[in-house]
């Protein structure tokens, strides 16, 4: 029996999802996409899951599309690929819409769609030995998986443009200095740091964090006026939540708050 290309570990209040095709640097094939989708479905359906940690097995995070699936035989004509429509785009949309934080622990090289899937996560922590490569231009492709939208916003047009046109690798340390990722840590610190963050999220006011994700998701296309209206609407929801009441009570009583997770809705 072939080994699963996605490994899932359950911890208290969060899950670790590991891309597991190390011999191919965790490159995506269709079955890895299907398994990843199922793992995310399962995490979302479990109301005890309040954060997700995405990482890679072996020395890479993910090398993007598995190119061995794209090799044409002599004389064979290229066929249209629906991988963006079918897999990458839904994945990127999904990561943003999940009602809890998604942390990418980038343990090694992240290339092509692998780099941009990492950047689509809410928080990216990378090992100092990791790098990010917009490798698409090396093989005549266009950066995908949201890269042309997300990357210029993170690091500015000039840097994003150069990374995409040259396909040069960006070391994790520089990525952190440029504000592309949250933090770059020593290799041995990567998983403890990412797990520590997920443990914090597992005790956080999850529904409030989901509202923050909604506000930030709308921000790039909203005017200030529209965003002010959205913040008002989301804050109305947050103010009505048991977690806000608990947060204030705990603050006044000088104790640690006990938040309700995903189970009770703000309207309850």
Query: What residue ranges bind ligand T3D (CB under 6 A)?
Result: 24-25, 27, 63-68, 70, 81, 83, 109, 111-113, 133, 135-136, 139, 141, 144
As a whole number of Å, the end-to-end CA separation of the chain is 47
Find out whether 10 and 197 touch, Cβ atoms under 8 Å: no
Closer residue to ligand T3D in complex, CB, 25/204 = 25
Least distance (Å) between residue 122 CB and ligand T3D: 21
Closer residue to ligand T3D in complex, CB, 128/230 = 128
3-state secondary structure of 105: strand
Q: Is 144 exposed, middle or buried (0-12, 13-18, 19+ CB in 10 A)?
A: buried
Least distance (Å) between residue 160 CB and ligand T3D: 17
Closer residue to ligand T3D in complex, CB, 42/66 = 66
Closer residue to ligand T3D in complex, CB, 65/207 = 65
Distance CA 87, CA 203 (A): 31
Least distance (Å) between residue 108 CB and ligand T3D: 8
Find out whether 13 and 48 touch, Cβ atoms under 8 Å: yes
Least distance (Å) between residue 21 CB and ligand T3D: 9
Closer residue to ligand T3D in complex, CB, 70/249 = 70
Find out whether 104 and 121 touch, Cβ atoms under 8 Å: yes
| Order of strands, sheet of 14-19, starting from the edge strand that comes earlier in the sequence | 6-11, 14-19, 52-56, 102-106, 123-127, 183-185
Least distance (Å) between residue 119 CB and ligand T3D: 13
């Amino acid at each position: 029996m072939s080994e699963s290309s996605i490994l899932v570990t359950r911890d208290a209040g969060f899950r670790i999802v590991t891309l597991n095709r190390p011999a191919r640097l965790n490159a995506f094939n269709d079955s890895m996409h299907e398994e990843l989708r199922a793992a995310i479905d399962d995490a979302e359906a479990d109301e005890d899951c309040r954060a997700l940690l995405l990482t890679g097995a072996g020395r890479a995070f993910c090398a993007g599309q598995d190119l061995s699936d794209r090799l044409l035989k002599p004389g064979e004509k290229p066929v249209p690929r629906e991988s963006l429509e079918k897999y990458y785009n839904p994945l990127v949309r999904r990561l943003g819409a999940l009602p809890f934080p998604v942390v990418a622990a980038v343990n090694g090289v992240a290339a092509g769609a692998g780099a941009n899937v990492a950047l689509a996560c809410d928080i990216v922590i990378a090992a100092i030995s990791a790098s990010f490569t917009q490798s698409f231009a090396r093989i005549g492709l266009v950066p995908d998986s949201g890269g042309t939208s997300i990357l210029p916003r993170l690091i500015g047009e000039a840097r994003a443009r150069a990374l995409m046109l040259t396909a040069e690798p960006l070391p994790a340390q520089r990525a952190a200095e440029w504000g592309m990722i949250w933090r770059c840590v020593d290799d041995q610190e990567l998983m403890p740091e990412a797990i520590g963050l997920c443990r914090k999220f597992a005790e956080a006011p999850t529904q409030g964090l989901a509202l923050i994700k909604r506000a930030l998701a709308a921000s790039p296309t909203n005017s200030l006026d529209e965003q002010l209206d959205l913040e008002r609407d989301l804050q109305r929801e947050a103010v009505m939540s048991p977690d806000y009441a608990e947060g204030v009570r705990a603050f006044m009583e000088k104790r640690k708050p006990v938040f309700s997770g995903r189970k009770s809705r703000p309207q309850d």
